[in-house]
């Protein structure tokens, strides 16, 4: 082989390595941009699913109440929804506020003025963090998906 042919071969190999590095860099930049966008999309889809689930459970509870003299069920098991999990894998939380065994409204979900957000029953998902507190203003409650105003609002606690 001639000396010029050897340097041309090495030059072509160098360009191939540089091209490969450029492609890997571009893929890395795209993955860095797309990762958070995809994660945000998944989070929004889960919120929408929880809103739809709470709406469906609320309808089942309302049908039960209409069939039982306006008495709400004691638990989600009564309406067959106790095994239903929210999109984050946690059970939906239900509290019958008209239950005579309930002492006061201490366990009821409350707005920023500490006024209960429902008068019939509370139904909510504990959200992505799986934690919750009675007032919606608590940090652990901001991501909860709540039913409020006796069903006129279903959405993120932070949006209420």
What domains does the chain contain, in order, with CATH numbers?
A: 3-159 (3.30.700.10)
- DSSP class of residue 135 equals B
153 Cβ neighbours under 8 A, 6+ residues apart: 146, 147, 160
Choose among 107, 80, 85, 81: nearest CA to 96: 107
- Quickly count: other Cβ atoms within 10 Å of residue 45's Cβ: 11
Backbone phi and psi for residue 26, each to the nearest 5 degrees, phi listed first: -65, -45
pLDDT surpassing 80 at residue 17:
yes
Give pLDDT, residue 4: 52
Give pLDDT, residue 18: 84
**Mean pLDDT on 8-28:** 80
Give pLDDT, residue 104: 60
pLDDT surpassing 60 at residue 3:
no
Calculate the alpha carbon distances from 139 to 77, 119, 145 in Å: 29, 24, 13
With 0.85 as the threshold, say if the pTM is over it. Answer: no
152 Cβ neighbours under 8 A, 6+ residues apart: none
Beta bridge partners of 133: none
pLDDT tens string 64-81:
999 999 999 999 999 999
């Amino acid at each position: 082989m001639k000396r010029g042919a050897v340097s041309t071969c090495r030059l072509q190999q160098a360009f191939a390595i540089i091209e490969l590095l450029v492609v890997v860099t571009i893929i890395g930049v795209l993955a860095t941009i797309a990762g958070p966008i995809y994660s945000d999309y998944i989070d929004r889809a889960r919120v929408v699913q929880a809103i739809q689930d709470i709406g469906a459970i609320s309808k089942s509870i309302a049908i039960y109440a209409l069939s039982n003299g306006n008495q709400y069920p004691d638990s989600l098991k009564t309406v067959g929804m106790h095994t239903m999990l929210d999109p984050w894998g946690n059970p939906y939380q239900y509290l019958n506020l008209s239950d005579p065994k309930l002492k006061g409204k201490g366990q009821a979900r409350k707005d920023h003025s500490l006024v209960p957000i429902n008068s019939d029953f509370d139904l909510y998902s504990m959200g992505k963090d799986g934690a919750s507190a009675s007032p919606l203003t608590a940090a652990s409650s901001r991501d909860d998906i709540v039913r409020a105003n006796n069903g006129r609002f279903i959405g993120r606690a932070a949006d209420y």
